Amino acid sequence: MEQQMTQLVEQMKARGFEVIELHTAEEAREYLLAHIAPDAGVGVGGSVSVRDTDVLSRLTQRGNPVYSAWGAKPELTASIYENARKADVYLSSANAITKDGRLVFIDGRCNRVGAIVDGPKEVFFVVSQSKV
């Protein structure tokens, strides 16, 4: 598995991704907290992987505006998605990663893909080995 991950990282780098290998949700959380400015607005793309790091509550606690539709009233989701797309930073995962380093997304509303492609300048993907 380790060799497969090394090859995947190289494939992703060849596609222009900056890849940081972290091994636990805690490491991912601490990395994100260290690399997201304390005043940055943060959009989130409905990612269980991101939620599992507990970074969203930590960002909120330190004062970052966090735009996430998890648990929001349906009448508020459109404005949350718009704010997330306009945020300084966007956090997401992918539904899958192919062995040759392509990210795969399935997105019913296209809010996540829209934000990734035409949203914040800085996008972080939290992706586990189970997505390969």
Give tens-digit pLDDT for 61-93.
999 999 999 888 999 999 999 999 999 999 999
Cα gap 54→109, rounded to integer Å = 24
The model's pTM: 0.92
19 confidence band (pLDDT: 50, 70, 90): very high
Residue 52 main-chain phi, psi, to 5 deg: -65, -20
Give me the domain span that covers residue 17: 2-131
DSSP 38-91: TT--EEE-S-HHHHHTTHHHHHHHHT--EE--TT--GGGHHHHHHHHHHSSEEE
Q: Which residues pair with 124 in a beta bridge?
A: 91
Interacting residues of 83 by C-beta distance below 8 A, sequence separation 6+ = 41, 43, 65, 67
Report how many domains make up the chain. Answer: 1
pLDDT(122) > 80: yes
